[in-house]
Structure 1
Amino acid sequence: MADLRLRRSVLYMPGSNQRALDKAKTLPADSLILDLEDAVAPEAKDLAREQVCAAVKGGGYGDREIVIRVNAPQTPWGEEDLKAAIEARPDAILMPKVSSTAVLEAIANRLEALDAPEDIDVWAMIETPAAILNIQHIAKAGSTVPGCRLTCFVLGTNDLAKDTWAQLVKGRAPMMPWIMFALAAARANGLTILDGVFNDIEDVEGCREECRQSRDLGFDGKTLIHPSQIEPANTCFAPSGEEVARARKVIEAFDLPENAKRGAIKVDGRMYERQHIGMARRAVSWHEAIAAKGT
């Protein structure tokens, strides 16, 4: 897991705000989504496209992963967004309203027609009831649709609430079946999956609590809407010192010659099966990647 990519904190930055684009270069977020869609008013779409693409071309973002969220292809701005994003060469392009494999097939065809560099991935917003109902097919598209490039799901919980009338309550019980269905589909198909945003930017502890929930559920990280949410996300998605120490003990115990053929062993009073070795190695690799990053 030497090439582990951290996506604990994935911060949306409005493309129409030049100060925000500049400030993002100094923030300790793992990834940045430079937004041309929801965060930008219709009259500012052209300006946002120009500023975001200039910012990506200009660089200065260090090792932060850079993603451009474009407008949907059927909108007046979608095609120009896609062309400009390809020219700017971010790490990935985030497509909104991916509700079926047809959307991914269409974007794959456009990327091929526009000679998009092969190192640009596609991320998919999962934010409609139709997307949840089609989630298994959408997740499989990464391996079944030629040229699909799909690597990541991003949950759009606000849009899901809008379309279903579900309430955005503490603990998110109304959404939990959809959340876990999307997460299972992502894991079954080797995709990264990021949780939706926490809306109350003044409630840092509430954000921290939801980040803990996200990590417990199995997400890779959380999308954010304000810099104050970066620290809770980075902290909650990092394994604790106790977890890392326990993981190393488990790995070391299974590596002992006398345990080479055992399917299960006891470490500090707890039973561990061989399947736990992978979980332990993941925790250690995660810890080492965070230590190397220094945030």
Structure 2
Amino acid sequence: MEHNIQPYRSVLYMPGSRPRALEKARNLPADALILDLEDAVAPAEKERARDLVAEAVESGGYGLRRLLIRVNGLDTRWGEADIARAAKAGPHAILVPKVEQPEDVHRVVELMKAAGAPEQTRIWAMMETPRAMLNAGVVATAHPLLEGFVIGTNDLVKDLGAAHVPDRAPLLTSLSLCLLAARAAGLVCVDGVHNAFQDREGLRAACLQGRDMGMDGKSLIHPDQIAITNEVFAPSPGDLELASAQVEAFEEAEARGEGVAVLNGRIVENLHVVSARRLLARAAAIAAMSEPAA
């Protein structure tokens, strides 16, 4: 499934050291799961978590959810072993923290190939430092295996010396730089977390802001955040009705030998139909996410 169709509305972090959490994740309605070996795992549990996460991926049962394994950084004593084991497990992607330059991606590619990673396993980059923001364009085009960005807003706020404020004004430049780079390179771009997981209205506002900017979805720290995020980032019934009408009107115009259609007093050209068909395909993919896990 093309990644511009594959839903990434809700991308939930799950601690890799907790078997019950890994099991519970099989039935959560998140579009994607980040099985975390980094921040969510204490140093004493790193090696055990590595095996737990790899075995969870290998055993399957997650349905159409996309599975990403977030490894520890290559500047840690766990990073290379994490990548080797994750590559053998064959998740949809390996998520690499603190990516700042193309060389960071190239090194991961080398390690994945050495470990025999399957062809379908991609690389995602955590974009979470000022240098990453400034280098987003060259990182996005570093290698064909790179498929997406996850923006690490907590680390970014820390490094900027900024503040967490409701409108996220201190982050807007960084979010836009990453999004521009991702779109130019055809990558997925997932917004950062909303820390106050019980703040439903704050989460909704952040989701609406990210959606309106053009983000594909939002990374989450708690299952209770999934419902709002899925709702906000899904096409609305009105969007789908308009998309269907645009496709129908354009196809009827084509059948008459005309290059454009008119719908409700507005011109419908091929570019509108391309977007409409993509939206309808994405809605179908979202509907398929509710299928029972295989």
Q: Residue 67 of structure 1 aligns to a residue in which SS? A: strand
Alignment partner for residue 242 of structure 2, among 243, 246, 264? Answer: 246
CA RMSD of the aligned region, Å?
1.9
What's the offset of the Cα at 1:22? 1.3
When residues 294 and 58 of structure 1 are mapped into structure 2, their CA distance, relative to the original with a 3 A threshold, is closer
2:142 is the counterpart of 1:141: yes
Aligned match of 2:30: 29
Aligned match of 1:200: 196
Alignment partner for residue 176 of structure 2, among 180, 186, 195? Answer: 180
CA shift digits 1:73-97 (9 cap, x unpaired): 1101111111211222211110000
Q: Residue 202 of structure 1 aligns to a residue in which SS? A: coil
2:290 is the counterpart of 1:294: yes
What's the offset of the Cα at 1:100? 0.3
Aligned match of 1:170: 166
What's the offset of the Cα at 1:273? 4.2
8 Å contact from structure 2 (residues 57, 90) kept in 1: yes
Provide the identity percentage: 48
What's the offset of the Cα at 1:262? 4.2
Q: Residue 241 of structure 2 aligns to a residue in which SS? A: helix
Give the structure, 1 or 2, with the largest relative contact order (CA under 8 Å, sep 6 or more): 2
Aligned match of 1:227: 223
What's the offset of the Cα at 1:150? 0.5
Aligned match of 1:146: none
What's the offset of the Cα at 1:245? 0.6
CA shift digits 1:24-70 (9 cap, x unpaired): 11111111100000111212212211221222222222221111100
Aligned match of 1:61: 62
Letter in 1 for 2:9: R
Aligned match of 1:12: 13
Q: Distance in 1 between matches of 2:290 and 2:100?
A: 37
Aligned match of 2:272: 276
2:232 is the counterpart of 1:236: yes
Structure 2 counterparts to residues 30-45 of structure 1, below 5 A: 30-45=31-46
Q: Distance in 1 between matches of 2:2 and 2:135?
A: 33
Aligned match of 2:126: 125
Q: Distance in 2 between matches of 1:276 and 1:172?
A: 31
Q: For structure 2, which runs of at least 5 residues remain unmatched after alignment? A: none
When residues 101 and 235 of structure 1 are mapped into structure 2, their CA distance, relative to the original with a 3 A threshold, is same
8 Å contact from structure 1 (residues 204, 228) kept in 2: no
Alignment partner for residue 154 of structure 1, among 150, 153, 162? Answer: 150
8 Å contact from structure 1 (residues 2, 285) kept in 2: no
8 Å contact from structure 2 (residues 250, 269) kept in 1: no
Q: Distance in 2 between matches of 1:115 and 1:245?
A: 45
Q: Distance in 1 between matches of 2:16 and 2:7?
A: 23
What's the offset of the Cα at 1:279? 1.8
2:103 is the counterpart of 1:102: yes
Alignment partner for residue 218 of structure 1, among 214, 217, 220? Answer: 214
8 Å contact from structure 2 (residues 84, 111) kept in 1: no
Q: Residue 13 of structure 1 aligns to a residue in which SS? A: strand
Q: For structure 1, which runs of at least 5 residues remain unmatched after alignment? A: 144-148
8 Å contact from structure 1 (residues 254, 260) kept in 2: no
Tell me the matched-pair count. 289
Q: Which moved more, 1:221-230 or 1:17-26?
A: 17-26
What's the offset of the Cα at 1:224? 0.6
Runs of 4+ with >4 A deviation: none
Q: Residue 124 of structure 1 aligns to a residue in which SS? A: strand
TM-score (normalizing by structure 1): 0.92
When residues 57 and 215 of structure 1 are mapped into structure 2, their CA distance, relative to the original with a 3 A threshold, is same
When residues 2 and 16 of structure 1 are mapped into structure 2, their CA distance, relative to the original with a 3 A threshold, is closer
Alignment partner for residue 191 of structure 1, among 187, 206, 209? Answer: 187
